[in-house]
Amino acid sequence: MLTVNDLSVNYGVINAVKKVSFEIDEGEIVSLIGSNGAGKTTILKTISGLLRPKNGEITYLGTNIKRHGAPRIVAEGISQVPEGRHIFPGMSVKENLQMGAFLIKNKAKIKANLDEIFERFPILKDRINQDAATLSGGEQQMLAMARALMAKPKLILLDEPSMGLSPIFINEIFDIIQKINQQGTTVLLIEQNAKKALSISDRAYVLASGEVKMTGSGKELLANVEVQKAYLGG
Amino acid sequence: MQIIFQQIINGLSLGSIYALLALGYTMVYGIIKLINFAHGDIYMLGAFWGFYVINEWHFNFIAALLSSMVIGAISGVTIEYFAYRPLRHSPRITALITAIGVSYLLENGMSYSFSSNTRSFPQVIKQHSFDVGGVLISNIQILILVTSCVLMVLLQVIIKKTKMGKAMRAVSVDADAAELVGININHTISFTFALGSALAGAAGVLIGLYYNSIDPLMGMTPGIKAFIAAVLGGIGSVPGAAVGGFLIGVLETFFQAIGLSAYKDAVVYVVLIAILLILPAGIFGKNVKEKV
């Protein structure tokens, strides 16, 4: 579905991503794990069109999308949930969700998507007219994911969805990710919480200092001694 | 008492002009964090356009007002496209200096092309005054107040209810997140400039009717006062800009009325200094701490 080939990206003067290659097949959950500064977020931002690659190709459903801007990539079916949630403060939960469907012209369809979202995230329905900035961290994360789902993406890119959340919420978020996936959305997940991420991933890539160091199925990497040492706390 | 009411009416008329201008400042600041110092000159362009079409093409008031808004919008979008867009990722000070440059270009370009003489604005509507309990209200004042209020309500509806308005708010609070839901940042910024500049164009025609005289440098002082109005209301806040505009207008008129005409500009600048010292976020502004 998505193939990244020899991708290099500069972040300012720093060469943040060096010749990274990976692929995601339709229906999978694929994780990129690695510590701070490994280049994970840079890769995600490059796929979603916020950053321009220096070299390499990004092929999505057979088309090269590396020169496409972010709005066009959203239109093509890739939505990103940014790190730190980035919901729109000062706008209500409903308005935030409506913004997620910005590119959908058909009002009935937006309404249908909204109903579907409220079914999946009942808490957001309770908060429908509340300023999004007043939600708790976990609710904001749900809102950010729900907003991305409003565009009905084929591929969803999740950047550190568990960041700053309590263990209960982390479990809930990971349950939601699995459900989203079961309903047919392909997931690319970036996590520092490697254990959690690997446990729900079909496949994963381990990144360090901008390069892919290891790859395998989620189970394999969970069992791998080196991965355990480096990312799973021994 | 009558004098006070009289001055309030005069102040509100002038204030609504400032309010229209302040809205443009505040919207542009809200979306790209730029104080667009060329904004006052768009108001001048609007006034000159009104002057031209009323004299040469015999437009009536409504046609002159609407066409000035269109001209204002086109100039605003053009300025943004050529002067500010290439500097989108430059330091803010670069864009600010460019805005001052654009302002000088417009002022001196107009002086050079059409002479810097003061012209008398054609009185497309015959002025007459109503006496309401000793307070004189002219039909022009009513027209200014009504037009400004209609435009402000319209603006509020656009910002709150329409898709583009919501996109504007989304881009102004979080540009990256806005892009990630598919909002085209450039289009949204152009749209913001178009709205703000259209209001400035309208203000130009209204002031022409009110003061009867226009010249290429007419935008400088009202531009700065409208900027102060925006700061007073809380820069970035749309209702704040409207309230700030009215307050500055009333304040200025009061100082004129009590015989301190010579200080009517100075007092507005004192307000700026005071507000920056006491209430830097303005009346409606949120005091957002910058995260480090």
Min Cα–Cα distance to chain A from B164, Å: 10
Is there a contact between B194 and B76 (Cβ–Cβ < 8 Å)?
yes
Picking from B167, B169, B176, the nearest residue to A102 by CB comes out as B167
CA A112 to chain centre: 23
Give the sign of the dihedral formed by CA B21, CA B25, CA B26, CA B32. positive
Query: pLDDT class for B73, splitting at 50, 70, 90?
Result: very high
Span B92-115, pLDDT tens digits: 999 999 999 999 999 999 999 999
Higher pLDDT, B287 or B221: B221
Query: pLDDT class for B287, splitting at 50, 70, 90?
Result: low
Provide the mean pLDDT of chain B.
92
B184 interfaces chain A, CB cutoff of 8 Å = yes
Q: How many residues does chain A have?
A: 234
Residue B146 has pLDDT above 90, yes or no: yes
Tell me the domain boundaries of chain A: 2-231
Residue B291 has pLDDT above 90, yes or no: no
For residue A94, what are its two tokens? 């409903």
- Gap between the Cα atoms of B102 and B37, Å rounded: 8
Residue B160 has pLDDT above 50, yes or no: yes
Is there a contact between B178 and A99 if contact means CB atoms under 8 Å apart?
yes
User: How many percent of chain B have pLDDT more than 90?
Assistant: 81
Residue B273 has pLDDT above 50, yes or no: yes
- Gap between the Cα atoms of A172 and A166, Å rounded: 10
Is there a contact between A82 and B176 (Cβ–Cβ < 8 Å)?
yes
- Gap between the Cα atoms of B183 and A88, Å rounded: 13
Picking from A75, A80, A91, the nearest residue to B180 by CB comes out as A80
B176 interfaces chain A, CB cutoff of 8 Å = yes
Neighbours of B126 (CB within 10 A): 7
Under-70 pLDDT residues of chain A: 233-234
Whole-complex ipTM: 0.89
A70 contacts in B (CB within 8 Å)?
179-180, 182
Q: CA neighbours within 13 Å on the CB side: how many for B78? A: 10
Is there a contact between B183 and A50 if contact means CB atoms under 8 Å apart?
no
Query: pLDDT class for B133, splitting at 50, 70, 90?
Result: confident
Q: Which of A74, A83, A99, A141 should we substitute to test contact with B (largest number of B Cβ atoms within 10 Å)?
A: A99
Q: Averaged over B149-162, what is the pLDDT?
A: 94
What DSSP string describes B114-142? H-S--EEPP-SS---EEEETTEEEEHHHH
A150 contacts in B (CB within 8 Å)?
181
Picking from A74, A89, A95, the nearest residue to B180 by CB comes out as A74
B167 contacts in A (CB within 8 Å)?
99, 102
Is there a contact between B173 and A89 if contact means CB atoms under 8 Å apart?
yes
Picking from A82, A98, A102, the nearest residue to B182 by CB comes out as A102
In this prediction the pTM is: 0.90
B71 interfaces chain A, CB cutoff of 8 Å = no
Min Cα–Cα distance to chain A from B223, Å: 29
Look at residue B197 and tell me if it is in a domain. yes
B166 contacts in A (CB within 8 Å)?
91, 95, 98-99
3-state DSSP call for residue A55? strand
> Structural domain of residue B36, as residue ranges?
15-227
For residue B182, what are its two tokens? 């598919």
Look at residue B270 and tell me if it is in a domain. no
Residue located via tokens 């390499």: A56
pLDDT value at residue B289? 55
pLDDT value at residue B288? 60
Total of domains in chain B:
1
Bridge partners for A2 per DSSP: A24, A60
Is there a contact between B22 and B241 (Cβ–Cβ < 8 Å)?
yes
What is the CATH number that goes with domain A2-231?
3.40.50.300
B170 contacts in A (CB within 8 Å)?
88, 91, 99
